[in-house]
Amino acid sequence: MKKVLVTCRAGMGTSTMLAVQVSNVAKKNNWDLDVNHTSLDGIGSFHSDIIVALSDVADDIKKQKRSIDVIGIKNMMDQQEIEDKLAPLMNE
């Protein structure tokens, strides 16, 4: 099982909605994912294999040079984009 942390700046609405979308994509593809969400400030409190965030937040996380896969999503309502970006990491 892979652990996915979905984050946004405040950890409320955006991360919650994006986490639901990630969970829906995982269910559709039979991916074994544990999906949680938090604020940008809270990511240090979680152990995860993948971080998913909107593109601008993902860019900020990537600048921190964390040793974790970070996926930036442009349209959180686009399940195909989420699937396309997560799929390569599901085979690792």
Q: What is the CATH number of the domain that holds 71?
A: 3.40.50.2300
48 CB-near residues (< 8 Å, 6+ apart)? 3, 4, 5, 36, 68
* Partner residues linked to 35 by β-bridges: 4
Burial annotation 64-78 (CB, 10 A radius, 16+ → b, else e): eeeeebbbbbeebee
Give the span between the Cα atoms of 15 and 54, in whole angstroms: 9
The model's pTM: 0.92
Q: What is the pLDDT of residue 73?
A: 97
Range of the domain at 6: 2-90
Number of domains making up the chain: 1
Residue 45 confidence class, pLDDT cut points 50, 70, 90 = confident
